[in-house]
Amino acid sequence: MSPSIPERTAPDPRDDLRGAVRDLVVNLAHAPLGEGRFWAVQAMVIGLFVVHLVTTIAPIHHAIPVSDSTIDLLLFIPIVYGGAAFGLVGSLGASLTGIALTVPMQLLMDHPTSEIWQEWAVLATTVVVAIQVGHHYEVERRQRELLRQVERTKVESELRALRIDAESQRALARRDALFRDAFENNTSGMYLLDRDGHMSDVNRAFCEMIGRSEDELLGHSPDAFRLNEDVMVAEEHRRRLTSGSIARVHYTTRFVHRDGRVIFGELAAACLNDEQGEPETIVASVRDATDERALLAELEHQALYDPLTGLANRTLFEDRLSRSRALVAREGGTNAIFLLDLDDFKGVNDTFGHHVGDQLLVEFARRMERVTRASDTLCRFGGDEFLYLAQGITGSYEEVAYRLLSAVHEPFTVAGTSLEQRMSIGVVVLDGESMDNDELLRNVDTALYEAKRRGKGTVVRFTNDMHDRASSRYELLRDLRAALGTDQLMMKYQPLVDLASDEVVGFEALMRWQHPSKGAIAPDLFIPLAEQTDLIVALGEFALREATTTAASWTVKHGRAPYVSVNLSTNQFRDPNLLALVDEALRTSGLDPDRLVLEITERAALADTVQVATVLAHFEDRGVRLALDDFGTGYSSLSHITRLHPHIIKIDRSFIVAADDDVASRALLDAMISLGRRLQLTVLAEGIETETQLTYLRGLGCEVGQGYLFAPALSNDEVATLLRASTSERWSARTTTHATAPGNRNRRNASATRLSHSK
């Protein structure tokens, strides 16, 4: 059943009348009094009234046969004109004005009845006509106004539509321009793909990224410039985009630059559809991440590899060690950790400087790489220590260790210098026990310590009893730290004798430790422990203060009071506070500066001759002298010695002992003493134990000596007694008392700092 259509009804005339009345009221409320035409209508009405009046009262009334009704009919002229101009207000205004002027005249003048009624009929007709004319023109005016309004609305709508369309076109043009600008000037590479997957547009950044021109790229698939291994991945992403299964993709791909370089790009792409919703264009943006990936790779390498040698660092080694432990626990087999340490590396650093030392480490790493398997892990553990994790050893660990040792048999040539090196090795064999990485590394370090204790070039495998010894060393170091500043540590003094006169010219201060429960601790035991920590500096400061204070109390009846010689550790000699420390010790004790001699080893003095010369110049200004200890045992350089100008050179006891039976050693000893005398240096021989050695040294012209032939290290009270005795009394029993004392003849100095050893 179709819907009913409402019937159109005829307009109600009363609606028009009501509308006309409303218009009249509106127009009357807004009378056009300012319009000239309105007053022209009123003038026309008044003119007709004047004519009517004249024809009525003037003598010409009979000459002009125009009836009053005829003149009244002439009111239709201003009525029609007023209605046309102003609608009802105009037509009614004209008729009412005419009536208002005519009626009084009709009432005052004598007229026949028929003329009066005729006059009133005409006036009534003018009113009716005025209403009809005004209404007609009012309707017409409203229609015209409505048409004009409709026209204006239509025009305004069309103009508005045109403006909107123009603005839309301009906005679209702006968007296109912005897109083109963003496309062309984007720092990331961009390209558009058509339905066939070919590039329809590319920007400058993408061209520069892969080193191609726009003409070379347009019309080609980006896969033609992609690394072959990434083509299938890119095709799959493109298929998913065009199928609508995903809205956008983001993945890493690789392009090949014209020069062959691989460019890593982070690619983001989306598919644009046409008006029918079909895929039309793929927009892709590619950010060049090549430098970023290179930086990340470099940071990762730095985090896992040693920057000097390029070997694995501790972090990477511990990761490999964890995997190795898990593999041994799961599958068995023999894996082992080797801790390698260059025995003579410190001497190279002290003598030639750290630059040469670094080059030596690099060359050592290359040699180790040649004798180890690439599947194993070689690590620089720190300083001159290297870790080697060998997995799946088929033979014994000794075979692996000796293969490593063979790599250092030949001397190293570094910076034009031939350097012989030996290596100690600690070993831990992984047996599947539940030990963590830290415990394994502690054990292999303990094994290395034991290897170095036994002698250079030694290989030692960790055993459980070594752990106990390591614990003892730790306890000893802890006790030594606690002993500092107490009466457990004391200084003793070994005489330095003028070989020509047998007079005591000085004393070397040597440290001793009396443990409250363990008794006397040998210096060869606790000094090396202290050198491994910063405790050696504190011990050196203690020795300097004690020695200067004690030496200030020494007096003799005749001649000059003896000087005191104090050993400095290498670390202490390089301390920028050393000068202030010496000044404070001299000031506090009151000791004359020329009665203080500071000893450093030959290796430490020659490590940095510029720094040493600077320090020596300051000591020279203060009157403090320098002794070069262990002369002849280091990497001596005569040119360095002539620049340093030490006051005293101390010939190591090894040369004195060797001269007893060896002709070549005697010649070497003779040359060393002659060299010192020619350089105007005081030559002091250490470790004199026999009269034969004393006689031989006197014959060579050696000036000063020390050793058990004269006396061991003495307490301060014993020093006072010695200084009070006459020369003949001092050494009368030296051949029987000291030279044959048990253990004296073979006592050696193992300490580079020599704070505490008898000589």
pLDDT higher than threshold 60 for residue 378: yes
- Is there a domain that residue 745 lies in? no
Structural domain boundaries, residue 363: 305-462
Pairing of strands 199-202, 189-193: antiparallel
> Which residues have C-beta within 8 Å of that of residue 40, sequence separation ≥ 6?
none
- Is there a domain that residue 743 lies in? no
Tell me what pLDDT residue 207 has: 92
Residues 265 and 315 occupy one common structural domain: no
- Is there a domain that residue 162 lies in? no
Residues 686 and 594 occupy one common structural domain: yes
Q: Which of 446, 462, 478 is the last residue of a domain?
A: 462
Q: How much is the average pLDDT of 234-239?
A: 91
Q: Which of 156, 177, 194 is the last residue of a domain?
A: 156
Tell me what pLDDT residue 91 has: 67
Residues 130 and 102 occupy one common structural domain: yes
Determine which of 103-112, 294-303, 516-525 has the lowest per-residue pLDDT on average. Answer: 103-112
CATH code of the domain in which 424 resides: 3.30.70.270
206-221 tens-digit pLDDT = 999 999 998 999 999 9
Q: Which pair of structure tokens corresponds to residue 198?
A: 């070919």
35-57 tens-digit pLDDT = 666 677 777 777 766 776 666 66
DSSP states along 418-485? EE---EEEEEEEE-S-S--HHHHHHHHHHHHHHHHHH-TT-EEE--HHHHHHHHHHHHHHHHHHHHTT
Q: Which pair of structure tokens corresponds to residue 470?
A: 């390591």
Residues 418 and 526 occupy one common structural domain: no
Residues 548 and 520 occupy one common structural domain: yes
Burial group, residue 562, by CB count within 10 angstroms (0-12, 13-18, 19+)? buried
Report the share of the chain in percent with pLDDT over 90: 31
Give, in order, the Cα–Cα distances in Å from 67 to each of 56, 64, 129, 130, 295.
9, 9, 20, 21, 120
Q: How long is the chain?
A: 759
How many separate domains does the chain show? Answer: 4
pLDDT higher than threshold 50 for residue 255: yes
Between helix 464-483 and helix 437-454 the angle, nearest 10°, is 80
- Is there a domain that residue 668 lies in? yes
- Is there a domain that residue 481 lies in? no
Q: What does residue 563 show for φ and ψ, rounded to 5 degrees?
A: -90, 170
- Is there a domain that residue 79 lies in? yes
b/e 400-417 (16+ beta carbons within 10 angstroms → b) = bbeebbebbeeebebeee
Residues 290 and 354 occupy one common structural domain: no
Which of 116, 285, 119 lies closest to 193, judged by CA? 285
Residues 617 and 668 occupy one common structural domain: yes
Residues 272 and 318 occupy one common structural domain: no
pLDDT band for 735, please (50, 70, 90 cuts).
Answer: very low
| DSSP annotation of 222 | G
468-515 tens-digit pLDDT = 777 777 788 888 888 887 889 999 999 999 999 999 999 999 999 999
Tell me what pLDDT residue 24 has: 60
Report the share of the chain in percent with pLDDT over 70: 76
Token pair 């290179």 is at which residue? 294
- Is there a domain that residue 746 lies in? no
pLDDT higher than threshold 60 for residue 737: no
384-398 tens-digit pLDDT = 999 999 988 888 889
Residues 358 and 455 occupy one common structural domain: yes
How many Å apart are CA 704 and CA 625, to the nearest integer? 15
**Beta carbons of 431 and 335 less than 8 angstroms apart:** no
| DSSP annotation of 604 | H
**Beta carbons of 575 and 611 less than 8 angstroms apart:** no
CATH code of the domain in which 207 resides: 3.30.450.20
Higher pLDDT among residues 408 and 353, named by residue: 408
- The pTM assigned to this predicted structure is 0.51
Residues 57 and 152 occupy one common structural domain: yes
CATH code of the domain in which 673 resides: 3.20.20.450
On average, the pLDDT of the chain sits at 81
Q: Is 273 helix (H, G, I), strand (E, B) or coil?
A: strand
| DSSP annotation of 311 | -
- Is there a domain that residue 748 lies in? no
pLDDT higher than threshold 70 for residue 30: no
Q: Which pair of structure tokens corresponds to residue 15?
A: 């609606």
Residues 328 and 412 occupy one common structural domain: yes
DSSP states along 338-358? EEEEETTHHHHHHHH-HHHHH
**Beta carbons of 646 and 627 less than 8 angstroms apart:** yes
Residues 494 and 638 occupy one common structural domain: yes
